[in-house]
Structure 1
Amino acid sequence: MSVITVRASDFSGLDAATLYALLRLRVDVFVVEQECPYPELDGRDTEPGTLHVWASEGDHLLGCLRVLEEEGGTARIGRVATAPGARGRGVAGRLVQAALERIGPREAVLDAQTRVRGLYARYGFAEDGPEFLEDGIPHVPMRRSAP
């Protein structure tokens, strides 16, 4: 039985192969599968304070997300992507949990695809505004307040 490992690093700690795998998964999921032609490489991956979190099984990448530092100290979780073959295995939940452990008690926000908002609600996020369309996909802003 394989073990799922969750890792986290800032940009400078990513080796070339890991960075390539993370970016490829994001492009495969968001740009190709979800048909959202947008600039995936937005410049924020390299910002100081950006944290990359990923789950793998051996050498196989299962999913990833990133955490950005917003003004005022709020953490923003985004680019949550799970490989098609890994869906339904709790990978996204493990990634969110790992990210929140690193964020700590600070406020955190995200824009959830509406169909998966329940995932984030399990981790203390609540809807924080009206539903909106991003690249033709319904999203809802969500917030986890600092304790």
Structure 2
Amino acid sequence: MTLEWKIKTFEALSVHELYDLLKLRSEIFVLEQNCVYLDLDGKDKLALHLFGEFEGKIVAYTRLFKPGISFENASIGRVTVDANYRDRKWGHDLMRESIAAIKQHFGESKITIGAQLYLKKFYETHGFVQTSEMYLEDDIPHIEMTRE
């Protein structure tokens, strides 16, 4: 059981893909984490959208940025795996695909992320190191992490 990976610009996303990835993000970042915030922050149009489909359903997603959009370095954001599929460890596949895509599409290897603090060890397994003190973003503890 593996995912079918796709990477698209905002303009290349179908209406159905856009709807499904925004729905997945809302299910996790708004409902599951009980956080009222504006997910549509204006950056989606600037991102590459990487997603994994399983049996035709988007179950894993990130958005990827060139340096200078979210951070000085290239970055990965909105790291998401459908709660019904987390037992399959596809988050690790998602991060490997995201790191490779940044190198392939942007020619960058230095990546900075704004990570939820509770996921620090997860990101460390992918080579990220904490580079900031804890800060609150939408009342959720975060840290910046960078991968050289």
State if a TM-score over 0.5 links the two structures.
yes
Q: Which residue of 1 aligns with 2:49?
A: 52
Q: Which residue of 1 aligns with 2:59?
A: 62
The number of residue pairs the alignment matches comes to 142
Q: Which residue of 1 aligns with 2:134?
A: 131
- Percent of aligned positions with the same letter in both sequences? 30
User: Is residue 132–residue 139 contact of structure 1 (8 Å, CA) maintained in 2?
Assistant: yes
User: Is residue 125–residue 143 contact of structure 1 (8 Å, CA) maintained in 2?
Assistant: yes
Per-residue CA deviations over 1:17-55 (Å, capped at 9, x if unaligned) read 1111000100111111111111111111112xx111111
Q: Which residue of 2 aligns with 1:95?
A: 94
Q: Which residue of 2 aligns with 1:118?
A: 121
Structure 2 stretches lacking a partner, 5+ long: none
Could you tell me how far 1:80 is from its partner in structure 2? Answer: 0.8
Per-residue CA deviations over 1:87-129 (Å, capped at 9, x if unaligned) read 1312111111111111124310101111111121111110001
* Higher mean C-alpha deviation, range 101-110 or range 75-84: 101-110
Superposition RMSD on alpha carbons, in Å? 1.6
> What SS does the corresponding residue of 2:127 show, helix, strand or coil?
coil
Q: Which residue of 1 aligns with 2:146?
A: 143
- Counterpart Cα distance in 1 of 2:128 and 2:85: 23
User: Is residue 3–residue 58 contact of structure 1 (8 Å, CA) maintained in 2?
Assistant: no
Structure 1 stretches lacking a partner, 5+ long: none
Which aligned segments of 4 or more residues in structure 1 are displaced greater than 4 angstroms? none
- Counterpart Cα distance in 2 of 1:136 and 1:89: 29
- Counterpart Cα distance in 2 of 1:60 and 1:18: 9
- Counterpart Cα distance in 2 of 1:113 and 1:89: 21
